[in-house]
Amino acid sequence: EVEKNLIQHLDKRILESPAIAISATKAEVVNMARITAVNISHAMGILLEEKVEEIQEVYAREKIIDNMQKLLTDYLIHIGNLSLNENQKLEVNNMFNTITDVERAADHAENIAEQAQYAQDHDISFSEIGQDDLKKISNKVMESFEASIDAFENNDLDAVVRTAHLEDQVDEMEEDMRETHILRLSSGDCVPQAGVIFLDVISDLERISDHADNVAGYVKTMI
């Protein structure tokens, strides 16, 4: 249903003018990114609160995100065939790239949900320190992802800069957490299985903020 409405909405716009078609598509890319932000947050919530019964919701949202990516990519190909000025060509190109990065960020959310399922199936829990670290880094990642949506939606240079700063902080956090976690593992303060999941999840989170930074980088070329 979402897809049918999306196609009808965009088809009408393309007949009006390239500028209107571009702006309608941009609004839908923002939508796709917002749904992705919800999925990242939800996947982390499931992992930390051990609510695996909600995992199907994450998978259902992931399907919607994948379908939106396909539809928006097809639509941008149509727009690319219209007569566009240089600025519009750049904007269409940036949207192609943004959609790819958002979809990859969404894949990492799905990975996190799968890790939550694995932890549940094997009765694995995180230590308090581990949980605390995961909350800290995921909050920072959500901030960076949301800043990149602001940057994209409003061509906002402040939000571009904010995204880059947050991404640097996430990189540092991930590195520190990886080191201290490996120390905890070697001193026996942490269960090895929980350790493996922890390292995978912080890696997924760090990649999400990389994709956010990429999106902000495309915006920078427009300003």
Query: pLDDT confidence of 174, banded at 50, 70, 90?
Result: very high
Query: pLDDT confidence of 1, banded at 50, 70, 90?
Result: low
Average pLDDT score over residue span 204-223: 96
Query: pLDDT confidence of 89, banded at 50, 70, 90?
Result: very high
Three-state SS string over the chain comes to CHHHHHHHHHHHHHHHCHHHHHHHHHHHHHHHHHHHHHHHHHHHHHHHHCCHHHHHHHHHHHHHHHHHHHHHHHHHHHHHCCCCCHHHHHHHHHHHHHHHHHHHHHHHHHHHHHHHHHHHHCCCCCCHHHHHHHHHHHHHHHHHHHHHHHHHHHCCHHHHHHHHHHHHHHHHHHHHHHHHHHHHHHCCCCCHHHHHHHHHHHHHHHHHHHHHHHHHHHHHHHC
Query: pLDDT confidence of 3, banded at 50, 70, 90?
Result: low
Q: Report pLDDT for 188.
A: 75
CA 196 – CA 182 distance, rounded (Å): 10
Query: pLDDT confidence of 193, banded at 50, 70, 90?
Result: confident
* Token digits of residue 135: 């909350």
Instruction: Read off the pLDDT of residues 115-146 as tens digits, 9 standing for 90 and up.
Output: 999 999 999 999 888 999 999 999 999 999 99
Q: Report pLDDT for 9.
A: 72
Residue 174: C-alpha distances to residues 38, 95, 177, 179, 196 (Å): 22, 29, 5, 9, 14
Instruction: Read off the pLDDT of residues 18-56 as tens digits, 9 standing for 90 and up.
Output: 999 999 999 999 999 999 999 999 999 999 998 999 999
